[in-house]
Structure 1
Amino acid sequence: MKLVFATNNPNKLQEVQKMLPPSIQLLSLKDIDCFDEIEETAITLEGNAKLKANHITDKFGYNCFADDTGLEVETLNNEPGVYSARYAGEPANAENNMNKLLTNMSDASNRKAQFRTSICLNLDGKQFLFDGVCKGDILTHKKGEKGFGYDPIFSPEGYDTSFAEMSSEQKNKISHRGLAIQKLVSFLSEL
């Protein structure tokens, strides 16, 4: 079976391909000659994942899955949430996003947060949703050099390190995206 992962990130693509059964050939947007800028205009993570998956299925006719991820901070009424990638405005920049979040939380004693990933799978005319959540805390300063996005300021529950201090294998076992992808993979493996 051929399945499109609606991403331009080669690292994410390779990571997911390793988790899928060999009977599934994963294609990237580049593989299907999709260079469209797919607008993420929904107000929920699920909505954005659906927008991306539906765009590929409707325009290119492929079975497809897409994901969207957000960081939800309890004391900030679950901000930045669906706006996580553009929290500090355009151009989207992880460093500026982290700095804005740390500034907004400078006086906060409650540092509880969670990363949430929503995956939408369009398969043979049906739509399926999978999600993954990783609870933790926002650190007071950046720690670590690995990962991307908010990883240097997020410490998952039960760990005294940030995501940016973990190996990718360790992070993928407990991360929001890793958990959502595991649900997707087990669903696809049972087909």
Structure 2
Amino acid sequence: MTGRVLLATRNAKKLRELQRIVGAEVTVLGLADVPDFPELPEDGATFEENALIKAVQTARETGEISLADDSGLEVDALNGMPGVLSARWSGTHGADEANNALLLAQLADVPDERRGAGFVSALALAVPGRKPVVVRGEWRGRIVRSATGVNGFGYDPLFVPTESDEAGDGRTSAELDPAEKDRLSHRGRAIRALLPQLRVALLS
């Protein structure tokens, strides 16, 4: 599989994740690598709707094979919130520390056995002239009471995946090495689910 794909993001960490998973034969570009265009608001009610909005617009504006990820954290005790509002939960988009602090405050009185949560990633593929496709990846775990670890981004320092609990080490997502996180994570699962369609798009 060779060629290039445009990921509709300016998040360098997401770009690196995708590049690691698809491999060196595919060049992964970001929005900073193409001419600017007015980006539509991500106002969908679901991760899938937002991913499709971004992927379809990016493919239309650039003519490139485009991927878009919309992802976030669903907390059981908060009825699935912050959900699609994850990146701006505290009011400012991408304010990771503030988002984490607000989430911890909201869960302060929630007992450990009710702190279940899951990361969700919806990944959309848009190829100019073709019907877009979208897949979903999920990663279950729980929310701890203080941030631990320096890897990753977003809510990673607060999220202990089920795999860590089963292994008995209780490591958060932010304590996993990149290869381990790619293998387990919601985004890794979504990307692997979409790889067959991406291969077809790159070969056609």
TM-score by length of 1: 0.90
CA contact (8 A) 1:21 1:189 kept: no
Greater length-normalized contact order (CA 8 Å, ≥ 6 residues apart): 2
- Equivalent in the alignment of 2:101: 99
d(CA) in 2 for partners of 1:21 and 1:151? 23
d(CA) in 2 for partners of 1:121 and 1:177? 14
Q: What amino acid maps onto 1:81 in structure 2? A: G
- Equivalent in the alignment of 2:149: 144
Q: What amino acid maps onto 2:18 in structure 1? A: V
Bigger mean CA offset, 6-15 vs 115-124:
6-15
d(CA) in 1 for partners of 2:92 and 2:17? 28
Is 2:4 aligned against 1:9? no
Q: How many positions carry a matched residue from both structures?
A: 191
Gap regions ≥5 residues in structure 2: 165-169
CA contact (8 A) 1:65 1:121 kept: yes
Residue of 131, 134, 138 corresponding to 1:129: 134
d(CA) in 1 for partners of 2:58 and 2:23? 22
Question: CA offsets per residue over residues 48-94 of structure 1, 9 Å max, x none?
Answer: 11111121122223221100001000111000000000111125411
How far off its partner does 1:21 sit? 6.0
Aligned CA-pair RMSD: 1.9
d(CA) in 2 for partners of 1:93 and 1:25? 29
- Equivalent in the alignment of 2:116: 112
d(CA) in 1 for partners of 2:149 and 2:174? 5
- Equivalent in the alignment of 1:89: 91
- Equivalent in the alignment of 1:168: 178
Q: Secondary structure at the match of 2:171?
A: coil
| % identical aligned pairs | 37
Q: Secondary structure at the match of 1:158?
A: helix
Structure with more helix by fraction: 2
- Equivalent in the alignment of 2:167: none
Change (3 A) 1:18 1:70: closer
Q: Secondary structure at the match of 2:180?
A: helix
d(CA) in 2 for partners of 1:25 and 1:84? 28
